[in-house]
Structure 1
Amino acid sequence: MSTNNNPKDVTRRDFLQKSSAAAIGSFFIVPRHVLGKGYRAPSDKLNIAAVGIGGKGFSDISNAWNNGAENIVALCDVDWNLAQKCFDKFPNAKKYKDFRKMFDEMGKDIDAVTISTPDHTHAVVAMAAMSRGKHVYVQKPLTHNINEARKLTEAARKYKLVSQMGNQGASNPGQQQMVEWFKKGVIGTVKEVEVWTNRPIWPQGIPVPTAKAEVPSTLDWDLYVGPAEWVDYSPAYHPFKWHGWWNFGTGALGDMGCHLIDTPFRVLGLGYPTEVECSVGAVFLKDWTPEYIPEGCPPSSRVQIKFPASKMNNSDIKMTWHDGGLRPFHPDLVPANDPLGEPDSSNGAMLIGDKGVMMCATYGKDPKVYLKSGEKLEMPKDAFQTKYTSLPEFGHQVAWTDACKAGFNSKEHKALTSSFDYSGPLTETVIMGNLAIRSYNFRTASADGKSFNFPGRKKLIWDGNNMKITNFDEANQFVTRKYRGEWKLV
């Protein structure tokens, strides 16, 4: 299935149906799916490429493949050791280390791309794909910074392409149940939201590595660094530990915010926040003197984000984020022995209304309501089930591939739970918390150099339309980033 680079909403299915009608009386061979119910022609499959195929990327492309429902034509990863499992599963796919070479050589043979790289390369890969007319599935958080999220959202509309962010909990029926409860006024008006996670579950708040390390022979480190500022290879960065370094990752907020904040953002119909404030955990490597490590994310943080009233909720909202193993305390309506969110209370989201408290675990699982009447509501069995919910990760990837084949203006695309029209603003909200975190330890020295001020330790006022902190300009350097060398967002 080829995608039009001057995208009009014409799918191959449309083309085949029109062509078959025009070929009456000729020897034109009509595809089997037209002639016989239940048949699926090879031409009705997507040709999918994957960039970033180790770890989460392996499940993303495997779920999109859907046991052979689609064609996997190209696989790209900068570390072929981590990629080997995926290479073995799809031996006929062409292998690459550089996504740019993959697009140059196979652009005409690729319809859609899954992108599951570290956060710092999401945007450059996705924009390269979309500018070539490819539908995209991008892991959470959508981007490394706010400007990139805004640009990808605009590009998906401009090129009329199907998009989905990889926060699979958005497709969980539990979220639909929470939306339904709220629409019915079950918990009333919400003024406070609590969200928490046990992340980081990788080393974080540690000094920058200085020991020399040999780059593994299977890894192209220059491609790995990509658009980020150059740093020498260290096992403190790759694999997986990149989450805790601002050069590559977005910390605990970026890792789990698009899963956990998604629930209140969706249920309450939130838009751009108006202000953000934080406090972060300190690191002491010696007595009395805290270490400030601007290159790395802190070991823990609390972030407060405020939103104006929305069409769905007639009140301003204060949302508090906790990470590093910190969590909120039990509201009075929640029994002392009931866990918050997960069974071990490690992750969750809680909406506190004037009639009751609604909460869920990660991905919107196990939604519950505690009412002032003393009644407790739980999700009815098999509620909000669809043809996708029995699939891995609630069919989040398969819904995307179906929408790619149906087209930009299709009901399948409009039904996606995390297209960029939704996940772009959600990501901007999540990453805005990092503006406060990264600004918190910004310091200026006194004239004699004997003391420091910390002007970033204030409430930051946010102009969402213009993507700007209005009362502390130094924070705006984190709205976007400088791209290394010839790398750019195109």
Structure 2
Amino acid sequence: MASRRNFMKQAGVAAAAFTIVPRFVLGGTGYRAPSDKLYVAGIGAGGKGQSDIANFAKSGKAEIAYLCDVDDRRAAESVKNFPKAKYFKDYRQMLEKEQKHIDAVSVSTPDHAHAIQALAAMQLGKHVYVQKPLTHDIYEARVLTEAAKKYKVVTQMGNQGSSGDGVRQLMEWYKAGLIGDVSEVYVWTNRPVWPQGIPWSENKASVPKELDWDLWLNTAPYKDYVEKLVPFNWRGWWDYGTGALGDMGCHLVEPPFRVLGLGSPLDVTASVGSVYVDEFKRGYFPDSCPPSSYSILTFPGSQGKPNVKMHWMDGGIQPPRPEELGPNEVMGDGGNGVIFIGSKGKMMCGTYGINPSLLPTSRNKEVSVPQSIKRVPGGADGHYAQWVEACLAGYGKMEVSSPFEIAGPLTEALLMGNLAIRSYDIRHPKKDKPDQFDYPGRNIKLVWDSKNMKVTNFDEANQFVKREYRSGWKLA
């Protein structure tokens, strides 16, 4: 009996020696214990945050350990799905109290909160996954891009199409010279599908008891709570969202950005759709994104290729239908899409780069190009698992599809379009009647100095490059 007891005691000691403990206990950002999991904190637990968190968990290698949301109603389903996760309302408290136990942070909040929340996590050495668009402002995008290098953390933006097969197929076709050199691209979306081009509501409402309104406002100027802004319609207001271009641009501009090796734009122009408040008077609502817009960004060609003009269209505006497309064939995916105009042909795709196709579509059966670019397991759906795996491997050990070194410049380019859209609507007092204003509608070409993040020919546009945060909030 004593012999058996001694054996069991020794076996227990041996078992204890091989017990796997979380990586944060063992220490070291790059350390990975056998069968270890990534301990994730989700800032924004409802809506897109809910689906992001669920997808990380689906990878099988992520433990959703912490949840944070300013609105208990929105967080309810995630709290139910992950009962072991500790819940917070203020992300600052969560990061301060639990920083030793968090490996990575997912940011799925409104645009105006992305940068300050992501940077706070990065400064603690946490890997970050941030929803698109990466940031609200160009300055913020530059800060996060530089922070990723400084703090040596694994980063990924939530434009899952960058992990899809479609964009890789387009890259292979272009590299093979099937459509020649591209000098023009058309990109369009059916967004906005939320209100834009409207005045701010004058009807004050009571703040729901489940919502911390002050925390929701975050960096934005203080305004009284109004109904129907939360949880979705904030997208149409410049204080919080980035309009149709910010919402869908990261999904639709990703293919041409990647295929053509684009970087910072040289210049941009824009025009916007009008809103009429009565039969004769044009509405002027500068706090709200326009109901439709058309921007043209000029990019320098890479590797000796010609400059590229990218046409962005939203609010129902679409490009001319290619002659090579059959009368009953769908352009893009209908409401959204991308068309590449090359010197030898054309190609197109839908949102996320899906359904890539040469034009005319009969060419798809005639042409065969060997696969030369490695695919992401699971395609676009594997975007989440790819980030989890890269975080577990450690910084610099594994490639991800949309690290901030790529996502940052992409976001900057998109937000250049918004500079032009907002500049189109800037009003000026009339010289002879200071109390009256000229109607906006000036299609100005904004010339961009990327190094200094500055429009060089229209200084008023620079107010939108870096916004002023509300007192008490700082990106540092």
- TM-score when normalising by structure 2: 0.91
The one-letter code sitting in structure 2 at the alignment partner of 1:237 is L
Contact 1:456–1:472 at 8 Å: present in 2 too?
no
| SS, match of residue 193 in structure 1 | strand
CA shift, 1:334, in A, is: 2.1
Equivalent residue number for residue 163 of structure 1:
155
Q: Which among 438, 441, 460 is matched to residue 452 of structure 1?
A: 438
The one-letter code sitting in structure 1 at the alignment partner of 2:31 is R
Equivalent residue number for residue 363 of structure 1:
352
Instruction: Provide, for residues 464-485 of structure 1, a one-character-per-residue CA deviation record: whole Å limited to 9, x for no partner.
Output: 1211111100000000111111
The one-letter code sitting in structure 2 at the alignment partner of 1:287 is E
Q: Which among 380, 386, 411 is matched to residue 399 of structure 1?
A: 386
CA shift, 1:252, in A, is: 0.1
The one-letter code sitting in structure 2 at the alignment partner of 1:12 is Y
| SS, match of residue 277 in structure 2 | strand
Equivalent residue number for residue 341 of structure 2:
352
Map 1:47-446; keep pairs closer than 5 Å: 47-66=39-58, 68-311=60-303, 314-342=305-333, 345-370=334-359, 375-376=363-364, 386=375, 388-389=377-378, 393-410=380-397, 412=398, 415-446=399-430
The one-letter code sitting in structure 2 at the alignment partner of 1:471 is N
Contact 2:127–2:154 at 8 Å: present in 1 too?
yes
Percent identity of the aligned residues? Answer: 50
Query: Relative to 1, partners in 2 of residues 1:173 and 1:380: Cα closer, same or farther, differing over 3 Å?
Result: farther
CA shift, 1:399, in A, is: 0.3
Contact 1:111–1:135 at 8 Å: present in 2 too?
yes
The one-letter code sitting in structure 1 at the alignment partner of 2:391 is C
The one-letter code sitting in structure 2 at the alignment partner of 1:361 is G
The one-letter code sitting in structure 1 at the alignment partner of 2:473 is W
**Whole-Å Cα distance in 2 between the matches of residues 223 and 178 of structure 1?**
42
Query: Relative to 1, partners in 2 of residues 1:67 and 1:195: Cα closer, same or farther, differing over 3 Å?
Result: closer
**Whole-Å Cα distance in 1 between the matches of residues 166 and 129 of structure 2?**
22
CA shift, 1:454, in A, is: 4.2
| SS, match of residue 73 in structure 2 | coil
The one-letter code sitting in structure 2 at the alignment partner of 1:11 is G
Contact 2:186–2:338 at 8 Å: present in 1 too?
yes
CA shift, 1:3, in A, is: 6.3
Instruction: Provide, for residues 263-283 of structure 1, a one-character-per-residue CA deviation record: whole Å limited to 9, x for no partner.
Output: 100000001000000110011
| SS, match of residue 476 in structure 1 | helix
**Whole-Å Cα distance in 2 between the matches of residues 348 and 249 of structure 1?**
22
Equivalent residue number for residue 5 of structure 2:
none
CA shift, 1:147, in A, is: 0.2
Instruction: Provide, for residues 391-432 of structure 1, a one-character-per-residue CA deviation record: whole Å limited to 9, x for no partner.
Output: xx421111001001111121x2xx211000000000000111
The one-letter code sitting in structure 1 at the alignment partner of 2:305 is N
Query: 57-66 or 152-161: which moved more?
Result: 57-66
Structure 1 segments (4+ residues) deviating >6 Å: 378-385
Contact 2:30–2:395 at 8 Å: present in 1 too?
no
CA shift, 1:94, in A, is: 0.5
The one-letter code sitting in structure 2 at the alignment partner of 1:334 is L
The one-letter code sitting in structure 1 at the alignment partner of 2:413 is T
RMSD: 2.2
Contact 2:38–2:388 at 8 Å: present in 1 too?
yes
Query: Relative to 1, partners in 2 of residues 1:50 and 1:263: Cα closer, same or farther, differing over 3 Å?
Result: same
Consecutive unaligned residues of structure 2, counting only runs of 5 or more, are 1-21
- TM-score when normalising by structure 1: 0.88
Contact 1:341–1:348 at 8 Å: present in 2 too?
yes
| SS, match of residue 258 in structure 1 | helix
